[in-house]
């Protein structure tokens, strides 16, 4: 039996969906962060469960051929990139395997996944950054939360963000420092500036700068605007979001415009999308376009269909298909997202779309009662997947095709297996890398009746 603090030698033979390497020691699985398949390591056991253990990498005895020198100085402390020590080729293979394993083991399918789709852009792909702002020893710190902690690791130069973000974060930090604006302290819930929130519309270049405040106004805000203007970047919106609650939820409900427009405008698969501070939006623009193209191809639209887009967010997936269908119905539970979806439809001159603010299962049952018979249903649920009632209602509506987009292969495989029981056959699974260097992987599955 392994004991806490014992040091063992381990061969890493697999990678978990959380990005931990796994090896077996006397039949026990040992999970070790920051390792790669093929590593021989010495590790210290830090946590013992009845059936598995966690270890910490102490010494790399024989490095895996998949290893590369991590190119981020704060990589091991920051909670963002768990795979930066792997070559991107090895990362893609691991992600493909993760999706394949989920559909094999959880779904009980025997269908080989399509090759993983990636834009190949592994740095600077994020169009949104949320940096916690804190103060340590009189210095303003802007960075990211450390793994499983609320300690802020200073890092303006995160490689996942576009280069403009580093420059803006630097200017904001200097402003806060020089004007002595108090930053937030989580312990006492005092201090004003909680987060710096940046968004960029990749297709147009437009940028939004937002400060999340534990208060209503920003002292010396005119000086911040001057500094931002002097950067000569396409900043189109500067705003303040008010969040006075002591909570981990980042954004408060109210956003005030300090300068410029309330939204920035992006183009996604030819659809104009307005992004406010609050709007949900895919963070990797170029990869999202590939994902949506795949979803559209799976939907195989001819112009006559009724298309139901469940968990539609601000409507983007459905809207990119609206011109190929007779009618589009989008369903989403967050009221503000539905309002955004309606505006997005109107601004694109799309008149055959209807958006409902409702729970997916409630809406699916109501639409079923209204006698709506969609030809194609697209679902894009959150990580926990679709509720049982949603899948049951979909099967009763009887669409020819169901296109499932998912950010969690495990629940996608479970839900596809449920749809198989309800009369649908899985035709195709395609993994997508929307979040290079992190452990997240998406997939698109096509099922037909
Ligand atoms: N399809 C969108 C958003 C997908 S994210 C896009 O690609 O941009 C998943 C969405 O499901 C979120 O917008 C979330 O608010 C919504 N959601 C979560 N639970 C829901 C439920 N029970 N019913 C309807 N929508 C829900």
For residue 251, the CA-to-ligand 1 centroid distance in Å is 18
| Token pair of 429 as six digits | 């699974």
94-103, 248-257, 438-447: lowest mean pLDDT where?
248-257
Q: 146 versus 41: which is more confidently predicted?
A: 41
Q: How far apart are CA 175 and CA 220, in angstroms?
A: 9
Measure Cα distances from 131 to 142, 170, 199 in Å: 6, 12, 12
Q: Using a 6 Å cutoff on CB, does residue 36 contact ligand 1?
A: no
Confidence of residue 146 (pLDDT cuts 50, 70, 90): confident
Whether residue 17 is found in the same domain as residue 112: no
Q: Does 89 fall in a domain? A: no
Residue with CA nearest ligand 1 atom 11: 311
CATH number of the domain where residue 323 is located = 3.40.50.150
Whether residue 322 is found in the same domain as residue 381: yes
Q: Using a 6 Å cutoff on CB, does residue 186 contact ligand 1?
A: no
Which residues are paired to 240 by β-bridges?
211, 256
Cα distance between the two ends of the chain: 50
For residue 431, the CA-to-ligand 1 centroid distance in Å is 20
Q: Using a 6 Å cutoff on CB, does residue 403 contact ligand 1?
A: no
Q: Using a 6 Å cutoff on CB, does residue 313 contact ligand 1?
A: yes
Statement: residue 248 has pLDDT above 90? no
**DSSP character at residue 305:** -
pLDDT value of residue 140: 96
Domain count, the chain: 3
Active site residues: 407
Q: How far apart are CA 297 and CA 378, in angstroms?
A: 12
**DSSP character at residue 185:** B
Whether residue 132 is found in the same domain as residue 116: no
Q: Does 270 fall in a domain? A: no
256 close to 281: Cβ distance less than 8 angstroms: no
221-230 vs 163-178: helix crossing angle, rounded to 10: 150
Query: Which residue among 310, 333, 358 is best mutated to probe the pocket of ligand 1, counting the most ligand atoms within 8 A of its Cβ?
Result: 333
CATH number of the domain where residue 152 is located = 2.40.50.1070
137-157 burial code (b ≥16 CB/10 A, e <16): eeebbbbbbeeeeeebbbbbb
pLDDT in tens, 260-292: 999 999 999 999 999 999 888 999 999 999 999
Which atom, in ligand 1's list, is nearest to the CA of 312? 1
Closest CA to 436 of 139, 108, 71: 71
Q: Does 80 fall in a domain? A: no
Whether residue 245 is found in the same domain as residue 363: no
pLDDT value of residue 279: 86
Q: How far apart are CA 185 and CA 191, in angstroms?
A: 6
Residue numbering of the annotated binding site for S-adenosyl-L-methionine: 282, 311, 332, 380
Q: Does 86 fall in a domain? A: no
Q: Which of 263, 292, 319 is the last residue of a domain?
A: 263
Statement: residue 211 has pLDDT above 80? yes
Which atom, in ligand 1's list, is nearest to the CA of 378? 1
pTM: 0.93
Name the one residue in this structure whose structure tokens are 């396409």. Answer: 234
Statement: residue 222 has pLDDT above 80? yes
Q: Read off the pLDDT of each residue in 233-261 and give the average, rounded to a whole number.
A: 94
Q: Using a 6 Å cutoff on CB, does residue 273 contact ligand 1?
A: no
Q: Using a 6 Å cutoff on CB, does residue 380 contact ligand 1?
A: yes
Q: Does 387 fall in a domain? A: yes
pLDDT value of residue 410: 97
Q: Does 268 fall in a domain? A: no
For residue 422, the CA-to-ligand 1 centroid distance in Å is 23
**Domain limits at 100?**
96-120+284-448
Mean pLDDT of the chain: 95
Whether residue 228 is found in the same domain as residue 324: no
CB neighbour list of residue 380: distance below 8 Å, 6 or more residues apart: 309, 310, 311, 312, 313, 317, 404, 405, 406
CATH number of the domain where residue 51 is located = 2.40.50.140
| Token pair of 186 as six digits | 């989580």
Q: How far apart are CA 376 and CA 39, in angstroms?
A: 46
Whether residue 402 is found in the same domain as residue 435: yes
Whether residue 151 is found in the same domain as residue 35: no
pLDDT value of residue 206: 98
Residue with CA nearest ligand 1 atom 16: 311
Q: How far apart are CA 377 and CA 449, in angstroms?
A: 12
Whether residue 176 is found in the same domain as residue 231: yes
C-alpha triplet 158, 160, 163: angle, nearest 5°:
70
């Amino acid at each position: 039996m392994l004991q806490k603090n014992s040091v063992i030698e381990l061969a890493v033979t697999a990678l978990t969906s959380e990005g931990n390497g796994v090896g077996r020691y006397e039949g026990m699985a040992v999970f070790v962060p920051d390792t790669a398949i093929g590593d021989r390591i010495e590790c210290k056991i830090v946590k013992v469960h009845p059936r598995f253990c966690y270890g910490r990498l102490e010494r790399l005895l024989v490095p895996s051929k998949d290893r590369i020198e991590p190119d981020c100085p704060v990589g091991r402390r920051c909670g963002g990139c768990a795979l930066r020590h792997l070559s991107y080729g090895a990362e893609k293979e691991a992600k493909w395997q993760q999706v394949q394993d989920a559909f094999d083991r959880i779904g009980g399918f025997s269908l080989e996944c399509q090759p993983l789709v990636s834009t190949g852009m592994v740095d600077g792909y994020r169009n949104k950054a949320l940096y916690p702002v804190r103060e340590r020893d009189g210095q303003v710190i802007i960075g990211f939360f450390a793994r499983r902690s609320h300690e802020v690791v200073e890092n303006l130069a995160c490689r996942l963000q576009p280069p403009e973000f580093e420059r803006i974060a630097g200017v904001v930090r200097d402003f806060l420092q020089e004007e002595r604006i108090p930053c937030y302290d989580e312990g006492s819930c005092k201090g004003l500036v909680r987060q710096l929130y940046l968004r960029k519309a990749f297709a147009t270049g437009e940028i939004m700068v937002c400060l999340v405040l534990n208060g209503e106004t920003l002292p010396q805000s005119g000086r911040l605007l001057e500094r931002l203007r002097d950067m000569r970047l396409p900043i189109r919106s500067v705003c303040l979001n008010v969040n006075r609650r002591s909570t981990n939820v980042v954004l408060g409900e109210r956003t005030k415009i300090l300068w410029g427009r309330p939204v920035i405008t992006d183009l996604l698969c030819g659809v104009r999308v307005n992004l406010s501070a609050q709007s949900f939006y895919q963070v990797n623009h170029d990869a999202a376009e590939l994902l949506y193209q795949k979803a559209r191809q799976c939907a195989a639209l001819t112009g006559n269909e009724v298309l139901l887009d469940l968990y539609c967010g601000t409507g983007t997936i459905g809207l990119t298909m609206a011109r190929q269908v007779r009618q589009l119905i989008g369903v989403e539970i967050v009221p503000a997202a539905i309002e955004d979806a309606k505006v997005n439809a109107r601004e694109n001159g799309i008149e055959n779309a209807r958006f409902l603010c409702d729970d997916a299962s409630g809406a699916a049952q109501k639409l079923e009662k209204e006698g709506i018979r969609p030809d194609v249903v697209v679902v894009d649920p959150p990580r926990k997947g679709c509720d049982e009632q949603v899948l049951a209602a979909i099967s009763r509506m009887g669409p020819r095709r169901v296109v499932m987009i998912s950010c969690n292969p495990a629940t996608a495989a479970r839900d596809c297996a449920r749809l198989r029981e309800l009369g649908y056959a899985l035709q195709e699974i395609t993994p997508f890398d929307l979040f290079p260097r992190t452990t997240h992987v998406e997939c698109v599955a096509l099922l037909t009746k």
